[in-house]
Amino acid sequence: MDMAHNESIPEMTEAISARLVAQWEGWKNQDPAPNNAIIADDFNSFSPDGSRHVGRPTALAVGEVWVKRNGQWLIRAFSGTQIK
């Protein structure tokens, strides 16, 4: 398998994991900076109604459901709703 910039899977996992932890800590503390730091300028997202959004997202209320299966935590569901 050809890896981007010759990074190994463990190195990529560690880098992405650290960013996700910082993102969730930011959300927990109502600090958008860690989330904004990991969003690419050409970010794409899809709303529950199926509409596609290009660029940085607007404010969202986010919920996720995680389950532990065979000793691994897996995301089971995600929901995002625009805050008005």
Specify the pTM: 0.52
27-46 tens-digit pLDDT: 899 898 888 888 887 887 77
Q: How high does pLDDT run on average in the chain?
A: 79
4-32: burial string, b at 16+ Cβ within 10 Å, e else: eeeeeeeeeeeeeeeeeebbeebeeeeee
